[in-house]
Amino acid sequence: MFDLTGKTAVITGGGSGIGKEAAQLFAKHGAEVCIIDLNRQDATGTVNVIIEAGGKARSFTGDVSNQQQVGQVIGEIGSVDILINNAGIAHIGKAHTTSEDDFDKVYKVNVKGAYNCLHAVLPLMVKQNSGVILNVSSVAALVGIEDRFAYSVSKGAIQAMTFSVARDYIANNIRCNCICPARVYTPFVENFVANNYPGKEQEMLDKLSRSQPIGRMGTTAEIATLILYLCSDEAAFITGCDYVIDGGFTKLNN
């Protein structure tokens, strides 16, 4: 099951966190993984781990918010069977406390970044009459989360983008789904808490864990496993869906 031999998978933000976990898992199942990441060191590190384990991987340094850069990278890769739009940034703030610059920054990376990758990859998938796209959204697209205005807006756009692409390209044998994780323990979360809540890191991590009825944050391995399934042939009947993976956050919180 979940055999990806001979397939090329592009993973944005694959240098760390969920993207890194997915990259390693996809390589383990036979895919050639192409990582696009703004951080050259992180991307190279993930590739080295994959190659040392006997897998196939390449790294590309690029800013997903720059359409020209994305186009050049996808041109170098050549053919794409799977696209995982994972790259993203977070932001703390309500509507009236979010500056225009911060709003634009979140939009450029989270929304325009995904669009740029779709814009570059979809013509290749249409030409080969096949492809799978997985967008990483968030529970923030589904429920109100305090002080996450810009981030929530961007993830809502990702969800809508998923449905639109799934509808427009179903006749081309291209599937498109998204996942909506709740809080997942990653280096990104560690750094985010350290930068925004100095001196209260453990308190905030405990608070984030308790906010989910299951009593903990998700793991990158748990998220990557769902991504693998949705991108595999075993999920060939699934398109235009948003999969919540949240430890009960959206349905069990009162």
**pTM for this model (two decimals):** 0.95
pLDDT digits (tens, 9 = 90+) for 117-176: 999 999 999 999 999 999 999 999 999 999 999 999 999 999 999 999 999 999 999 999
Residues 142 and 202 in one domain: no
Residues 38 and 158 in one domain: yes
Domain membership flag for residue 90: yes
Residue 130: CA count within 13 A, CB half-sphere: 12
254: pLDDT strictly greater than 70: no
Q: Which residue type occupies 119?
A: H
- Distance, CA of 252 to CA of 138 (rounded, Å): 16
Q: Domain holding 147: CATH number?
A: 3.40.50.720
Domain membership flag for residue 254: no
Q: Which strands sit side by side in the sheet containing 131-136, from one edge to the other?
A: 56-61, 32-37, 8-12, 82-85, 131-136, 174-181, 242-245
Residues 195 and 97 in one domain: no
Residues 53 and 133 in one domain: yes
- Distance, CA of 141 to CA of 24 (rounded, Å): 27
Residues 136 and 158 in one domain: yes
Residues 94 and 208 in one domain: no
Per-residue model confidence (pLDDT) at position 131: 98
pLDDT digits (tens, 9 = 90+) for 22-33: 999 999 999 999
Average pLDDT in the 75-85 region?
98
Q: Which residue type occupies 20?
A: K
> 10 Å Cβ neighbour count for 53?
11
Residues 87 and 137 in one domain: yes
Domain membership flag for residue 1: no
195 — pLDDT class (breaks 50, 70, 90): confident
How many structural domains compose the chain? 2
Residues 134 and 197 in one domain: no
Q: What contacts 73, CB < 8 A, 6 or more positions away?
A: 36, 60, 62, 120
Domain membership flag for residue 252: no
Take residue 154 and report the two structure tokens written for it. Answer: 């961007």
Range of the domain at 200: 183-217
Residues 80 and 107 in one domain: yes
Catalytic residues: 151
Residues 44 and 149 in one domain: yes
